[in-house]
Chain A
Amino acid sequence: MAAKDEDVDAVGETPVGGSGANDAAAWDVRRDQLSRKLAEHRTRLDIEARASRKAGSSQGIAEGLKLASEFAAGIIVGAAIGYFIDRAAGTTPFGLIFFLMIGFAAGVRNILRAVSPETKPVAKPPQIGPNDGKR
């Protein structure tokens, strides 16, 4: 790695021996160099970590496991609401039919929300203000 070589060079440039104020100054210079290198390295690590997180496989698996149940849950809840409305109001089977369709739509909505969290606001103009910058 190129950074390693630079590190070695940088350390080599600074005088290690000597005595008194000269020595303290040398150490200061050395400490500065080291902290700069560290900061550089840290930002690079951060970028690398972010890149690997984007491509991370376990996150993809987690995403995949999520979707099927999102869709099913919409339909189940819709059917349950329709069934209980039918039971209470005696409108069998129209409540079930209607809410099953609503549940289907809700399931599709769940999936759309799950796969596109960034573009969630439909046809929303980009607004600049206190809400900007947070999702």
Chain B
Amino acid sequence: MAYDPIDPIHQFQIFRIVPIKIGSWDFSFTNSALFMVLTVAVTAGFLYYTTRGRGLVPSRGQSITELSYEFTANMLRDAAGTAGMKFFPFVFSIFMFVLVANLFGMMPYFFTVTSHLIVTFALAMLVISVVVVYGLMKHGLHFFHLFVPPGVPAALLPLVVLIEVVSFLSRPVSLSVRLFANMLAGHITLKVFAGFIVSLSALGTLGILGSILPLAMVVALTALEFLVAALQAYVFAVLTCMYLNDAIHPGH
């Protein structure tokens, strides 16, 4: 496929950097994998570097780290109580990964890891598996009280339980689709409006003047996308906390 500078989908293409094949499985190191590694490396490096001094009066970097720690800790404590704090490393890792991956995507020429459904779905499945496994370990069969809301007449119970089960199964779907769709749609919109600038300015003087309009739009959208990037990471983490709350206190 010839490279088209204003093709809005091109930025999501995955290509192999280091082809690796084990048996019939394709384990190639792709650009997506590269940016995941970069995300983790930058996050871990930043957190480690800024807390290295352990100043009583925090430096700017240490303040950022401490703020993100307290933000996540408060979020988790609000949603799941102090019993949920044992999941703090898990929630913090997910929050930082999604946040940094989203913000990475805002850099020009960078690949947006979270704009691929399979990545966000893997994250969501990780959350749900932790919820199910921990819930079953901690509460045994009592965990299934999650599906039986109190105060339901016995005649309606099968239907209600069916609805609750489907509702539970829809959680990883909504969790992953929301993040993926927001990132994908935002980046496509940005690219389409940026493409208008290129197309319009090829039309001569009037076109160049007209291209100011999409340029203003792109500037506004960029700000919006930064907001969405942070918000989606926040929503993902908040819902993770709420689901963990179900695993810790099922049945109410």
Contact = CB atoms under 8 A, between A and B. Distances in A.
Interface size class of A (residues with CB under 8 A): 20 to 34
A122 B235 contact: no
Interface stretch (B4-12, B16-24, B174-182, B198-206): B174-182
A120 B235 CA distance: 20
Given A69-B178, A69-B181, A109 B169 contact: no
A122 B167 contact: no
A85 interface: no
A95 interface: no
B234 interface: yes
A54 to B, nearest CB: 12
Contacts of B151: 121-124
Contacts of B245: 135
B177 A109 contact: no
A102 B81 contact: no
Contacts of A117: 242
Contacts, number: 91
Interface residues of B, number: 31
Contacts of A26: none
Interface in B16-37: none
- Chain A CB within 10 Å, residue with most, of B167, B177, B245: B167
- Chain A CB within 10 Å, residue with most, of B170, B171, B178: B170
B170 A65 contact: no
A102 B252 contact: no
Contact of B164 (A61, A77, A107, A109): A109
Given A77-B169, A134-B249, A110 B231 contact: no
B188 interface: no
A65 B232 contact: yes
B67 to A, nearest CB: 13
Interface of B: 81, 149-152, 162-164, 166-167, 169-171, 173-174, 177-178, 181-182, 227-228, 231-232, 234-235, 238-239, 242, 245, 249, 252
Interface of A: 58, 61-62, 65-66, 69-70, 72-74, 76-78, 81, 99, 102-103, 105-107, 109-110, 113, 117, 120-124, 131, 134-135
